[in-house]
Chains A and B, each alone.
Chain A
Amino acid sequence: MARAATTADAFNAVAEPRRRQLLDALADAERPVNDLVALTGMGQPQVSKHLRVLREVDLVDVREQGRQRLYRINGAALKPVHDWVAAFEQTWNDRFEAMDVVLDELKRKEAEDGNGK
């Protein structure tokens, strides 16, 4: 049996530019393969290959509707990646905001020194 998909698997899947393109195309709607081919400009075999990877790590779900297979994003599987990026972003935002305070001081100091010359 296949092992359960991990956060790292989701990262690998998301970090591939073509797969990110597919996820973007699926962000607003459930779509059949043909739509994804048209939207991304990739060939159908390539789209199918990347969709398979995305499905293996549960980032994308598929359902049958008549003769069509419709693909959609599985938000729950994307959440760990989003959470990690958000937390990392938060850490750096906090740092840079603290740096803004330092920079304001440096700017003021430089302006004062400049006036004194």
Chain B
Amino acid sequence: MATASKGTAEVTLPSDTQILITRDFDAPRHLVYEAYTTPELIKRWWAGKRGGVTVAEVDLRVGGRYRYAMEATEGFEVAFNGEFREIVPNERIVNTEVFEGAPEGTGAAIVTVTFEEAGDGTHLEMLMDLEDKQTRDAIIESGMEGGLQEGLDLLEEIAIERS
């Protein structure tokens, strides 16, 4: 089968300080890159099924900064910010990522996003390199307590419905 079809996101843990997310898109990579980097478009997808994106600021140049925020649950804001380290248009972006709700002293993640042509579609890889295990644990904990908990609840609801 051609790899052009859209897939589902796959999350793996290549090492104890790395998280890798991969996904195939049924669209050419310059459009995936556009959707990934354009503030008005980010506003339409970054919140997923949750609240809405309240902030999407992107200064897309090396040394430029970005900030995304969304309202996850009523009045509860989830925000990330960082700096662009490397930009190869339509191919590759390297940026730092800081979760604003993380405890003091938590390090940053270095996120490397690659857009690869795959037939008529695009294979996207997002590798999160976490500074240390403490940072990883902070991300795990924040996920468990904050936004990701909703995803978990949703999964549990589905599981209950099916049982």
Contact = CB atoms under 8 A, between A and B. Distances in A.
B35 A99 contact: yes
B155 A92 contact: no
A90 B23 CA distance: 12
B25 A100 contact: yes
12 contacts: A8-B136, A8-B140, A11-B137, A88-B143, A89-B11, A92-B48, A93-B8, A94-B50, A98-B46, A100-B6, A100-B25, A106-B35
The contact size tier of chain B is 35 or more
A interface majority secondary structure: helix
A4 B10 CA distance: 30
A7 interface: yes
Given A101-B45, A107-B31, 12 more contacts: A8-B140, A12-B16, A84-B140, A86-B151, A87-B143, A87-B149, A89-B21, A91-B147, A96-B23, A97-B48, A99-B32, A102-B35
Interface in B5-46: 6, 8-11, 13-19, 21, 23, 25-28, 31-32, 34-36, 41, 44-46
Given A84-B144, A95-B46, A106-B27, A89 B9 contact: yes
Interface string B34-68: 11100001001111111000000000000000000
The 10 closest A-B pairs by CB, nearest first: A94-B48, A15-B16, A98-B45, A90-B151, A87-B151, A103-B27, A92-B9, A99-B45, A87-B152, A87-B148
